[in-house]
Amino acid sequence: MAGSVSPKKGKRRLAAEMNVVPYIDVMLVLLVIFMVTAPLLTQGIDVELPQASAETITADDEPLTLFVNARGEYFLDAGGDTKKPLGDQTVIDRVGAVLRNKPQTLVLIRADKAVTYDRVANGMSLLQAAGAAKIGFVTDAPSVPRGADKPTRG
């Protein structure tokens, strides 16, 4: 029996393992795609905010924002086309609809610093007419701390 070959010795057993390397490659490509497209998905109206030093407001729910661009046109970040300017009554109707569902929603005003004050005041009165109880203004932090621009006596 020295010359006989065992039938098990010549055959190889198949490995039943899954090759996960292609799946990892696909996941990394998807991750890169999401990382590139996520910043592009933020919507909004281009406004240049005034600078003021104030405390940061923290809200539990997402606030509703009224945008006022440099031409004094109103935009809302809720409901409908956010790129189309809204009339006064439309602002009241849309804000009122949001506040009927969530009465304690914080409403923010993001107004361009070049817009006239009467357009901002009119926007605030529209929000109050819609039933907004909490209204805040969004500003940018000043680049120079207060008091730093005054000369010191020496």
CATH number (domain holding residue 96) = 3.30.420.270
Residue 32 has a pLDDT of 92
In a domain, 152, yes or no: no
Q: Does position 6 have pLDDT exceeding 60, yes or no?
A: no
Secondary structure (DSSP) of 138-153: --BPPSS-TTTTSPPP
Closest CA to 138 of 73, 48, 40, 61: 48
Residue 84 one-letter amino acid: K
In a domain, 82, yes or no: yes
In a domain, 29, yes or no: no
Q: Which residue has the higher pLDDT, 1 or 121?
A: 121
In a domain, 76, yes or no: yes
Q: Does position 52 have pLDDT exceeding 70, yes or no?
A: no
| First-to-final CA distance of the chain | 110
Longest dimension (CA), the chain: 110
Query: In whole numbers, what is the pLDDT of the chain averaged over residues?
Result: 78
Percentage, residues of the chain above pLDDT 90: 10
Residue 154 has a pLDDT of 46
Residue 116 has a pLDDT of 87
Q: What is the pLDDT of residues 104-130, one digit of tens each?
A: 888 888 888 888 889 989 998 998 898
Burial of residue 62 (number of CB atoms within 10 Å: 0-12, 13-18, 19+): exposed
Residue 113 has a pLDDT of 84
Q: Does position 22 have pLDDT exceeding 90, yes or no?
A: no
In a domain, 150, yes or no: no
Q: pTM (2 decimals)?
A: 0.55
Q: Which domain holds residue 95?
A: 64-137
In a domain, 78, yes or no: yes
Give dist(CA 66, CA 72) in Å, integer. 12
Domains in the chain, number:
1
Q: Does position 27 have pLDDT exceeding 80, yes or no?
A: yes
